[in-house]
Amino acid sequence: MRVEAHPSSDPERQPSRAALRGLDLLNVTLADVRDGLGPYLAIYLLAVRGPEQGWNEATIGLVMTIAGIAGLLTQTPAGALIDRTRNKRGVVIVAALAVTASCLVLPWISNFYLVAGTQALASMAGSIFAPALTGITLGIVGPKLFSKRIGRNEGFNHAGNAVSAMLAGGLAYLFGPIVVFWLMGILAACSIGAMLMVPAESIDDDLARGLDCREDQNCEQPSGLSLLLRNRHLMLFALLCAAFHLANAAMLPSVGQLLTKVVGKDNATSLIAVCIVAAQCVMVPMAVLVGAKADSFGRKPIFLAAFGVLALRGVLYTFSDNPFYLVAVQCLDGVGAGIYGALFPIVVADLTRGTGRFNVAQGAAATAQGLGAALSATLAGVIIVAAGYSAAFLVLAAVAGAGFALYLLFMPETLGYEPRPTDAQPPTPASPLAVPAE
């Protein structure tokens, strides 16, 4: 018989103000640290090192590919680590230090293998942050407040991205590309301070992994990772995540290439910066709105809206190559990505409730998402060369449309999702494994 639930799973549980303030600040300061140097790496290596030191578009692309593959390979292990550890604050701090050290060392090294190694390390460490932030959030606020709190997290994350992008752009204009490294160091120090603001005792490690009782109680124990593979709705959701990023990831780079042809590389760089900041500003209210309404509207109609907006965005790009029109259409990225970022951990939490594998499931879905993003640029590039930009945008829109149809027809509403007992505990001879109910 199941014993009384862990007191911290009580729906009336009230997180401490210190923990909530720390979460707010952590999401702002980690917004830039979690992605490492990102697009600034290519700018620095090409502008500062250049061909005279052996750096061109091909070698820079290879470094970024190596880093991306390293990050993909560690997504699922990172989630498993967050599920298992009872020192989540320490893991976040170590990861932040690793990312920062990998970036700060770049001005003093030029060897290809060293650069590739440091960026692979940064990507591997960065894979910790997404499951850690959502796991810590679930462990602090519990399942009843999780949706609203995730929306708030995403709002602060996008606000942090917008502010750091503006700071990086302005400071790099005044002091050169190297200023981005020092900005990264400052943000990492702030993120460590923010993490320490969250009291360790405010994080319930059992809730954080998707259990609603303590492991020393006589209740369901965490299921094996293999059982996740038998949850067909979780596997379908991972496929949908891959489809979303297959359609989305190449749109902004393709717009950047198109702008380069229309207005030249100098003006295109400024316009792309405007695109990024504008989209992030749209994502802030969108993420907060999704968090506030996900429990009343349900997850499915909101996620369908994300796919629909993504498909519409791809189609609209084909109507004109006017720079201001393209920037305006790019703002729709804030709607689709804002919805996706807020709903992703909520849906995974729904599908893994009671299994104790919330964070490892996040890592597995994020791996699928990363594969979709990695294939997106290749798909768009091949089509652009063969048939032009409009054809590429239409194909990406068609992928988003296919994702919309797949979600509509086969993905259940996960609000109130009730997996069968075999999803939360190993099967017994009296209880054969079955797929989750609709």
Quick: pLDDT tens for 290-301. Answer: 988 888 899 999
Provide the 8-state DSSP code for 185.
H
pLDDT, mean of residues 345-364 = 86
Does residue 197 register a pLDDT over 90? Answer: yes
User: Mean pLDDT for the chain?
Assistant: 81
Residue 280: closest CA among 130, 163, 186? 163
Q: How far apart are CA 53 and CA 314, in angstroms?
A: 39
Please write the tens of the pLDDT for every residue from 221-262. 555 456 567 788 999 999 999 999 999 988 887 887 787 777
Does residue 167 register a pLDDT over 70? Answer: yes
Looking at residue 38, its pLDDT comes to: 62
Sequence-ordered list of residues with C-beta below 8 angstroms from that of 252, at least 6 positions apart, any chain:
272, 275, 276, 330, 333
Residue 51 · residue 342 · CB < 8 Å: no
Looking at residue 45, its pLDDT comes to: 73
pTM of the predicted model as reported, rounded to 2 decimal places: 0.75
Does residue 211 register a pLDDT over 50? Answer: yes
Looking at residue 395, its pLDDT comes to: 96
C-alpha distance from residue 208 to each of 7, 180, 356, 360, 385 (Å): 14, 34, 8, 11, 47
Of the listed ranges 27-31, 98-102, 121-125, 180-184, the least confidently predicted one is 180-184
pLDDT, mean of residues 322-333 = 88
Does residue 136 register a pLDDT over 90? Answer: yes
| Helices marked H in 353-388 | 358-387
Of the listed ranges 79-83, 146-150, 218-222, 361-365, the least confidently predicted one is 218-222
Residue 210 · residue 349 · CB < 8 Å: yes
Task: Answer positive or negative: Cα dihedral of 140, 143, 147, 148.
Answer: negative
pLDDT, mean of residues 132-137 = 92
Looking at residue 434, its pLDDT comes to: 38
Looking at residue 11, its pLDDT comes to: 46
Does residue 191 register a pLDDT over 80? Answer: yes
Based on the number of CB atoms within 10 Å of its own CB, is 322 exposed (0-12), middle (13-18) or buried (19 or more)? exposed
Does residue 361 register a pLDDT over 60? Answer: yes
Sequence-ordered list of residues with C-beta below 8 angstroms from that of 68, at least 6 positions apart, any chain:
123, 370, 374
Give 5's pLDDT tier (boundaries 50, 70, 90): very low
Residue-range domains of the chain with CATH? 17-207 (1.20.1250.20), 223-419 (1.20.1250.20)
Looking at residue 394, its pLDDT comes to: 97
Sequence-ordered list of residues with C-beta below 8 angstroms from that of 186, at least 6 positions apart, any chain:
none
C-alpha distance from residue 54 to each of 50, 59, 145, 178 (Å): 7, 8, 52, 19
Give 402's pLDDT tier (boundaries 50, 70, 90): very high
Token readout for 389 is 């930009």
Residue 131 · residue 363 · CB < 8 Å: yes
Of the listed ranges 7-11, 234-238, 314-318, the least confidently predicted one is 7-11
Q: How far apart are CA 427 and CA 40, in angstroms?
A: 49
Of the listed ranges 102-116, 142-156, 200-214, 221-235, the least confidently predicted one is 221-235
Does residue 407 register a pLDDT over 90? Answer: yes
Please write the tens of the pLDDT for every residue from 38-90. 666 666 776 667 677 667 756 776 777 788 788 888 888 888 899 889 999 99
Give 355's pLDDT tier (boundaries 50, 70, 90): confident
Residue 165: closest CA among 190, 192, 193, 184? 184
pLDDT, mean of residues 415-433 = 51
More confident residue, 8 or 87: 87
Looking at residue 10, its pLDDT comes to: 45
Residue 198 · residue 89 · CB < 8 Å: yes
